[in-house]
Amino acid sequence: MTAIRRIRADEAAVVTDLWDDMARSADDGGPLSARGRRNITAMLTLAADHDEVFCLVAENDGHIVAFTVGRLVRGQLLPGVGGEIEEFYLIPAARASGLSRALADAVIEQLRSLGAGIIWHHVCRDDQAAQGFWQHLGFEGDTIRFALYPG
């Protein structure tokens, strides 16, 4: 049985390991640096009790198999409060089981309960599967983000 719940502070290092897996699995990714690991672990520790930033984990048989990070966004130009799904990761063995949908529903529900109106999630341009997943949940493409890489 899989349970989705808020992270506990003592689980931050475990979720950082999953974050490292997520970074390594990206086409242009790689391992987290030691500094990056420290910063992410510190952020996740604080997210356990923060009012506007949170991490939800999915636990199956005592093991964390997925996580998502959400935060409220208070823009100066848009009225109200928005929400951002910043990270969303499931270990490969947990995919295609309905857990992706359950975790997405949970992060959306948490953001809504905190007052978020519009909710955003960035997806890579080339990731058609992720785009289809979020569109199936009712998300719409609304911006294009350009990047200027060094070199």
**Nearest partner of 68 among 39, 101, 34, 35, judged by Cα:** 101
Please, what is the angle between helix 12-25 and helix 34-47, to 10°? 130
The answer to whether 79 and 116 have CB atoms below 8 angstroms apart is no
| Domains of the chain by start residue, with CATH | 2-136 (3.40.630.30)
By the 10 Å C-beta count (0-12 exposed, 13-18 middle, 19+ buried), 72 is classed as: middle
Q: What is the pTM of this model?
A: 0.92
Q: Would you write out the chain's pLDDT as a tens digit for each of its 151 residues?
A: 789 999 999 999 999 999 999 999 988 889 999 999 999 999 999 999 999 999 999 999 999 999 999 999 987 776 789 999 999 999 999 998 899 999 999 999 999 999 999 999 999 888 999 999 999 999 999 888 888 888 7
Angstrom distance (rounded) from CA 20 to CA 25: 9
**Nearest partner of 57 among 96, 8, 97, judged by Cα:** 8
- Collect all residues with Cβ–Cβ distance below 8 Å to 103 and sequence separation of at least 6: 4, 56, 58, 66, 68, 88, 90
Angstrom distance (rounded) from CA 103 to CA 150: 35
